[in-house]
Structure 1
């Protein structure tokens, strides 16, 4: 279903999380659940994956993840503060060890000079804090932005799970 490299990353995440006794959740906007889908495509993933939140709208981010309305108003959905709040909300609401979030502009429209198509913010919440990363993939096409975002999110999960 997914490209081989994504399948391999998802398998590595599940292996590391299972070995470390870690549980996972995802909070996804522009990827629409693709990270959760990649993880749950791995046999035995239920030992680590608890749930995935697809929070495409601002209302969903507020209602399901507890993202404060003032953050959305001040910074916009595609921003570091919102990515951090999404990850923290997913981690606390799911009661998991690790939660990754993704919010971005996959295109083909919707970008601006400040937030161009291909800008994606990622966050990973752990019990020790939140890691943030932003990538500017460029206007490489909607599918490519989404798949590259899945890769980044899986690497964040893998690297953190392996380090524990």
Structure 2
């Protein structure tokens, strides 16, 4: 599904690019409209504009863009048609929600069991830490006594 959506997004981007390029070419090949407020004569005098106009007849440019845009539109239509069209009925949605609730309860039960086990292990670890601390205190006390008896302080 994700691959089809990615392909669809790529086709949409390609169509947008085709349309933008077509508009740009239309702007370049359009005959200047002489309004008193605009200076369109300067564009017609540019050598790049003249070379562009002489490179291809305007009819070919329009036809080429029309073919590319139509082909991309057909590709988009095919991609959209290949996407699943399943509309969920109320009963289907209800059963899906029921499954989710059951899964939620089962996972909650598992979590409660794991939490109880971890609590008992935590209690055990605390008991061991208390025993270790008591042993360390006893060891330090014994070391102090041995040191005093040996060195006489």
Normalising by the residue count of structure 1, what TM-score does the alignment of the two structures yield? 0.20
Q: Which has the higher contact order (CA 8 A, sep 6+)?
A: 2
Between Structure 1 and Structure 2, the one with more strand by share is 1
Between Structure 1 and Structure 2, the one with more helix by share is 2
